[in-house]
Amino acid sequence: MLFCIGRCIHQLATLKEVAKLAKVDSSVVSRVVNNDPALNIKPETRKRILDAVEELKYRPNMSARNLKKGQSKMLGMIIPDFSNPVYSLIIHGAEDQAAQEGFNLLVYSLKQKGLEKSYSPLLDGQIEGLLIANSEIDNKEILELKKTKKPFMLVNRTVAGVDNYVVANDLLGAKLATKHLIKQGHHRIAHISGPLFTATGLSRFQGYREGLQEDNIDYIPVYVQESKYTVENGYESMEILLDLPDPPTAVFASNIMICLGAMKAIQDRGLTIPKDMSIIGVHDVFFTSTLQPPLTTVKMPLYEMGREAVKKLIAIIQGKEGETGQGVTIDGASLIVRSSTSPPPSK
């Protein structure tokens, strides 16, 4: 059963209906509703209009009003895939900041729309700015978008020649993970990296190498496997590491999806985590403490990244930071120690 408070949604009053009831022109109603300071009308006429507005439960069409002003009050966000839990916290932060500033957030995946359709809402003016939280979009495409001078912000990635970005301190996070494994007594430490053509993947790889170097541990090239940020690629990379003549005793995975795949590969070989192989991954998402064993992670400031990206994007839209603004790196990586890491088997 459908219940209505006042008029149902499909029966909302129009501006013309209010004008007819108040016996004035529609333009006068519009100026009263919008509090036009230049409007000079009798108090009784204004009251009659406001009474008609109340009686008919008239609500101004904010979308139409904003479009007329060249404003949609709508932001877009492109993510790779809705199945990736990393993006839920980024979206949450972005949505909270957008709502605080009177904007709505439309989120869609590259997998769902494809590249051309992902950009079209921005180019067509349906949204006022775009957050690109996707490492799969080619750098050349982003540089082409920059030429349009439309407001956009990179989230969790950088592109040479583009200053409007918000990222976490990935190098620091990777170094925390590597040094934790070293402190546990591991020397044969592998790294399943993200794509090394992306700034995020490269920064985490550099943090891993610096962590080894600072403790005088040899860097062994075969212990590094480049992977996409997927469970399947994490599994395949871990299998390669396990097949080495002298396999590692610990592995640092560049993100949670890679880590899940690596954990499954280890367990499918009949090995035990952490007795036979320690593992640590970047991103402390909601289920990491419920895995078997509970996963040691590096928690990154994903929520804060989403908030800051929207804040910067709206500043660009409002002309407070020129056409691009400046890049921001957010510190705040922290180690969450659980049961998936321990000293190596020989200890």
The rounded distance, in Å, linking the Cα atoms of 95 and 310 is 8
Q: Of the ranges 51-55, 221-225, 274-278, 331-335, which one carries the lowest mean pLDDT score? A: 51-55
Task: Quote the pLDDT of residue 33.
Answer: 81
Identical fold at 9-60 and 170-301? Answer: no
**pTM of the predicted structure, to 2 decimals:** 0.77
Say how many C-beta atoms besides its own lie within 10 A of residue 211's C-beta: 23
Per-residue pLDDT at 294 exceeds 90 = yes
The superfamily in CATH containing domain 170-301 is Response regulator (3.40.50.2300)
> What is the SS3 assignment for 335?
strand
Per-residue pLDDT at 74 exceeds 90 = yes
Per-residue pLDDT at 63 exceeds 60 = no
Per-residue pLDDT at 68 exceeds 60 = no
The full set of domain ranges for the chain reads 9-60, 72-166+302-329, 170-301
Task: Quote the pLDDT of residue 117.
Answer: 75
CATH number of the structural domain 72-166+302-329:
3.40.50.2300
CATH number of the structural domain 9-60:
1.10.260.40
Mean of the per-residue pLDDT values of the chain: 89
The rounded distance, in Å, linking the Cα atoms of 130 and 140 is 17
Per-residue pLDDT at 210 exceeds 90 = yes
Per-residue pLDDT at 126 exceeds 90 = no
In this prediction, residue 340 has a pLDDT band, given cuts at 50, 70 and 90, of very high
Torsion of CA 139, 78, 130, 313, to 10 degrees: -90
Task: Quote the pLDDT of residue 281.
Answer: 98
pLDDT tens for each residue of 104-115: 999 998 877 777
